[in-house]
């Protein structure tokens, strides 16, 4: 019972630590001035907005590695003026040794513009801390908006210039932060099941021999560290050339998130015994990897991939420092430290292999535990699904989930009737088609596309639009309506979005998810009894058009054309 409570506490604490508020940064500039030598200079104020309960680190104290740092392009920093920092108290209210800012503040930069005919751009990393520390990245072109007044400039004490400290002085502290942050990542809900599963799997493959346990543990640790080093290398090499590239960049691609969902789901099926089959009847096809050490490496890499999408206490500061560090070797060292910290459970088994022998011997209980962990991995699937909901349409997410369910059906068929060549071929074809279908559904992202600006229904909105002769499109929908969600994909088409913009159609969403007598009465007025229902008013006093309940791109285009001819 105590173990269960401890595990539950780890999940709750990890979830709380993974939440942090996001602050904003804006810039103000002075008008450019010329010195006697003809050098053009400008003063820039970086205004940091600090929310309640947050703090930023200063360029002094323990947390100086997470202080805001800006890299300027086409400009040389002549002077920097930081505001006076304050002591940051610890959770117990006592001095913590950290210095920073708990309220909004400004940092002033005096820049020498190198080429007056080219814009000045910036690349900035800073760390926002509340319950946890989250690195933030912002890049762009500096707008010379001349919002700094002469009064603002007179208030800057340039004699109290505080230059950024040498990054080398805090490098050992950053490495320590990386190690501690990596250790904490093991408690994250997206990582904890993978680590726990791997530890208990070692009990089965090691045969209790210390040498085997050490090698398996080191192989898993190497897989974990490799993921962090590879991602860190990609970031360090590409970040200067690609604006906005930051930690967790791979999770911005729906395909990567979908592959992670498939991996977690496949692990669930494996623990339930649905993927424990042999297909030796097919030539050159083998699902099992004979080298158990390779499997340990791959399972460690899976844990690293799950860990790489999470940012927790300490690791956020270490990642920000690594990405800001001009030394490639030091940056890779920081990511290696995070990977070693995340692989501490494997490292501990390698150093103290006798821990395995302290656990109960493998038996029936372990088989039961494996089935239980299948549910734990299934619960982990909710995390990539939640990410996909913000990357693709809800209708596509529902289809992706359906593909996973179909995969489990064919896996069951393969496990149940695998001795039949026909069933084996059908099942393998079904799994492949389902996997590819899910990949096709996640191949597009909605985050960078224009969307139709739907507004909530109100009598005033519709009445005013009719009075002014505006075109109106009424979308009667509900979140519990499956057809409604599938029809939403028609509104994501670029041509349909263009038609809405060109015709200046006021898009009104009549949401019937919750009971509404008003919307129910309107549905009856249009001769319908349920949702989905789509009504188009071409405007200019023309009568409305009721569209079919199964909505397609051509259906909308035909309705628009019909409205033009009325």
57 closest CA partner among 135, 123, 3: 135
Q: Is residue 398 pLDDT above 50, yes or no?
A: yes
403-412 per-position pLDDT tens digit:
999 999 998 8
Q: Is the model's pLDDT at 216 over the cut of 90?
A: no
Distance, CA of 191 to CA of 11 (rounded, Å): 10
Nearest to 353 by CA among 199, 225, 223, 222: 199
Which residues, in sequence order, are CB contacts of 534 under 8 Å at separation 6+? 473, 474, 475, 476, 487, 546, 547, 548, 549, 551
| 92-106, 131-145, 191-205, 408-422: least confident range | 191-205
What's residue 375's pLDDT? 86
pLDDT at 240: 63
* Beta pairing class for 506-511 and 472-477: parallel
| Token pair 């596509």: residue | 396
pLDDT at 268 over 90: no
Question: What pLDDT score does 508 carry?
Answer: 93
Cα distance between residue 200 and residue 378, in whole Å = 18
Q: Give residue-wise pLDDT tens across range 221-246.
A: 888 899 888 888 887 777 666 655 66
Closest CA to 515 of 531, 537, 499, 535: 531
Check residue 166 and give its pLDDT.
45
pLDDT at residue 426 is higher than 60: yes
Question: How far apart are alpha carbons 267 and 375 in whole angstroms?
Answer: 10
Whether the predicted pLDDT of 173 surpasses 90: no
The whole-number pLDDT of residue 185 equals 76
Question: Per the structure block, which two tokens stand in for 287?
Answer: 């699902």
- Domains of the chain, CATH where assigned: 22-164 (2.60.40.1250), 174-441 (no CATH), 455-565 (3.40.30.10)
Bridge partner list, 110 = 43, 79
Does the structure show a pLDDT above 80 at 562? yes
CA separation for the pair 297, 299 (Å, rounded)? 6
> What pLDDT, on a 0 to 100 scale, did the predictor assign at position 167?
44
Strand 105-113 relative to strand 40-48: parallel, antiparallel, unpaired?
antiparallel
Chain-centroid distance of CA 46 in Å reads 27
Mean confidence (pLDDT) of the chain: 78
Is the pLDDT at 206 greater than 60? The verdict is no
The helix/strand/coil state of 110 is strand
- Higher pLDDT pick, 533 / 270: 533
Across 60-64, 83-87, 379-383, 494-498, least confident range: 60-64
Q: What is the pLDDT of residue 406?
A: 93
- Of the chain, the end-to-end C-alpha distance in Å amounts to 72
Q: Average pLDDT in the 359-386 region?
A: 78
Residue owning tokens 């909710």: 382
**Per-residue pLDDT at 534:** 94
What is the C-alpha to C-alpha distance for residues 466 and 475, in angstroms, rounded to an integer?
A: 16
| 217 compared with 134, residue with greater pLDDT | 217
pLDDT for the residue 537 = 93
Specify the pLDDT at position 18: 40
Residue 436: pLDDT band (50, 70, 90) is very high
- Higher confidence at residue 271 or residue 230? 230
For the record, the structure tokens of 217 come out as 């543990």
| pLDDT score at 359 | 67
pLDDT number for residue 554:
92
Which residue, chain included where needed, has tokens 């929310």?
A: 51
Look up residue 415 and give its DSSP letter: H
Residue 282 pLDDT:
35
- The region, left, alpha or beta by phi > 0 then psi within -120 to 50, assigned to residue 492 is alpha
% of the chain with per-residue pLDDT over 90: 13
Give residue 404's pLDDT.
Answer: 92
Q: 68: closest CA among 147, 122, 140, 131?
A: 122
Highest mean pLDDT among 57-66, 319-328, 371-380: 371-380
> What is the structure's pLDDT at 164?
45
Structure tokens at 377: 């991995």
Each residue's pLDDT tens digit, 59-113: 877 667 678 888 888 888 888 888 888 888 766 667 777 888 889 999 999 898 8
> Hey, which bits of 441-555 come out as E strands?
455-456, 472-477, 506-511, 533-537, 545-547
Please answer whether residues 219 and 296 qualify as being in contact, where contact means their C-beta atoms are separated by less than 8 angstroms.
yes
pLDDT tens, position by position, 289-305: 445 677 778 777 877 77
Q: Three-state SS across 139-200?
A: EEECCCCCCCCHHHHHCCCHHHCCCCCCHHHHHHHHHHHHHHHHHHHCCCCCCHHHHHHHHH
For residue 530, the model assigns a pLDDT of 87
Residues 6+ apart with CB under 8 A from 436: none
What HEC string does 209-262 produce? CHHHHHHHHHHHHHHHHHHHHHHHHHHHHHCCCCCCCCCCHHHHCHHHHHHHHH
């Amino acid at each position: 019972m105590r173990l269960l409570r401890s595990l539950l506490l780890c999940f709750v604490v990890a979830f709380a630590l993974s939440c942090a508020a996001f602050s904003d940064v804006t810039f103000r500039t002075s008008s450019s001035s010329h010195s006697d030598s003809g050098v053009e200079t400008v003063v820039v104020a970086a205004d940091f907005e600090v929310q309640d309960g947050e703090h930023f680190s200063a360029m002094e104290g323990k947390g100086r590695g997470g202080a805001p740092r800006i890299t300027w392009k086409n400009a040389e920093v002549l002077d920097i003026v930081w505001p006076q920092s304050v002591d940051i108290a610890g959770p117990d209210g006592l001095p913590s040794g950290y210095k920073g800012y708990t309220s909004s503040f400004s940092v002033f930069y005096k820049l020498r513009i190198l080429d007056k005919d080219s814009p000045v751009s910036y690349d900035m990393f800073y760390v926002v801390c509340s319950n946890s520390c989250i690195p933030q990245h912002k890049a762009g072109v500096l707008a010379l908006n001349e919002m700094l007044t002469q009064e603002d400039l007179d208030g800057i004490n340039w004699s109290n210039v505080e230059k950024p400290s040498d990054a080398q002085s805090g490098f050992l502290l950053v490495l320590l932060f990386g190690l501690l942050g990596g250790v904490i990542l093991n408690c994250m809900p997206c990582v904890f099941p993978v680590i726990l599963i791997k530890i208990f799997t070692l009990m089965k493959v090691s045969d209790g021999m210390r040498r085997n346990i050490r090698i398996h543990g080191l192989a898993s640790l190497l897989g974990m560290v490799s993921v962090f080093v590879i991602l860190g290398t990609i970031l360090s090499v590409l970040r200067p050339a690609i604006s906005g590239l930051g930690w967790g960049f791979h999770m911005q691609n729906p395909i990567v998130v979908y592959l992670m969902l498939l991996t977690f789901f496949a692990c669930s099926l494996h623990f339930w015994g649905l993927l424990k089959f042999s297909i030796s009847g097919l030539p050159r096809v083998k699902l099992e990897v004979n080298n158990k050490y390779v499997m340990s490496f791959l399972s460690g890499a899976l844990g690293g991939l799950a860990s790489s999408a999470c940012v927790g206490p300490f690791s956020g500061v270490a990642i920000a420092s690594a990405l800001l560090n001009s030394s490639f070797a030091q940056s890779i060292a920081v990511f290696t430290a995070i990977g070693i910290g995340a692989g501490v459970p494997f490292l501990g088994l390698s150093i103290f292999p006798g821990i395995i022998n302290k656990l109960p011997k493998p038996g029936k209980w372990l088989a039961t535990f494996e089935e239980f962990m299948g549910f734990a991995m299934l619960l982990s699937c909710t995390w990539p699904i939640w990410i996909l909901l913000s990357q693709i349409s809800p209708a596509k997410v529902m289809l992706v989930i359906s593909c996973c369910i179909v995969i489990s059906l064919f896996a069951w068929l393969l496990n149940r009737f695998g001795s039949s060549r026909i069933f084996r071929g059908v099942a393998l074809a079904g799994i492949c088609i389902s996997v590819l279908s899910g990949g096709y559904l996640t191949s597009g992202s909605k985050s960078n596309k224009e969307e139709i600006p739907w507004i909530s229904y109100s009598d005033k909105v519709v009445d005013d639009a009719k009075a002014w002769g505006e075109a109106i499109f009424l979308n009667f929908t509900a979140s519990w309506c499956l057809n409604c969600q599938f029809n939403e994909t028609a509104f994501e088409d670029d041509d349909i979005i263009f038609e809405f913009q060109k015709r200046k159609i006021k898009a009104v969403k009549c949401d019937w998810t919750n009971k509404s007598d008003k919307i129910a009465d309107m549905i009856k007025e249009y001769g319908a009894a349920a949702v989905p229902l789509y009504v188009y008013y071409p405007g200019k006093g023309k009568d409305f058009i009721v569209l079919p309940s199964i909505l397609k791109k051509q259906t909308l285009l035909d309705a628009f054309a019909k409205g033009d001819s009325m």
